């Protein structure tokens, strides 16, 4: 919609109207339906190529376009997974060390209790 100098608000209104038309008519959202909605919202057609509309509706393209930090694009998800795995490994190492220390303290306590029981 940037190519047509539409504000995000206007583009949202236009697409919302197109989706409503698609739902009401049972038609697929395509360039013709978008033009029909544009005539109502903008009082003019957009005349977008069908390939452009298809690309905007492609789920893989939609996901891959989310490249900001925390986005759904593969590289962002991969980065978040790597960060998460690092955090999990850090906590797992901490838990392992704490368990080792607790086990050692328990063994020392038992040994001290045995020694005291034997000396009485």
- Token readout for 57 is 């509706």
Position 66 in a domain: no
Residues 53 and 94 in one domain: no
Q: Are 46 and 34 in contact (CB under 8 A)?
A: yes
Task: List pLDDT tens digits, range 39-53.
Answer: 999 999 998 899 988
* 2 and 52, same domain (yes or no): yes
CA distance 103 to 105: 5
Looking at the domain assignment, is residue 81 inside a domain? yes
Domain containing 41 equals 1-57
Q: Tell me how many domains the chain contains.
A: 2
Instruction: Give the integer Cα–Cα distance in Å for 120 and 109.
Output: 17
Do residues 35 and 87 share a domain?
no
Q: What is the pLDDT of residues 59-88, one digit of tens each?
A: 999 899 999 999 999 999 999 999 999 999
Shared domain for 11 and 49, answered yes or no, is: yes
Whether residue 62 lies inside any domain: the answer is no
Backbone angle region of 71, left / alpha / beta, with phi > 0 → left and psi within -120 to 50 → alpha? beta
Judge whether 65 lies within some domain. no
Contact 21, 27 (CB under 8 A): yes
79 and 48 belong to one structural domain: no
The reported pTM is 0.55
């Amino acid at each position: 919609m940037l190519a047509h100098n539409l504000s995000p608000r206007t583009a949202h209104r236009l697409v919302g109207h197109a989706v409503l038309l698609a739902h009401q008519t049972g038609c697929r959202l395509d360039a013709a339906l978008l033009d029909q909605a544009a005539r109502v919202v903008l009082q003019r057609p957009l005349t977008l190529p069908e390939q452009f509309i298809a690309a905007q509706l492609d789920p893989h393209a939609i996901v891959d376009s989310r490249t900001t930090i925390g986005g759904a694009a593969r590289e962002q998800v991969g980065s978040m997974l790597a960060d998460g795995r690092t955090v999990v490994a850090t906590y797992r190492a901490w838990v392992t060390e704490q368990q080792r220390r607790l086990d050692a303290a328990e063994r020392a306590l038992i040994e001290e209790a045995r020694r005291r029981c034997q000396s009485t």
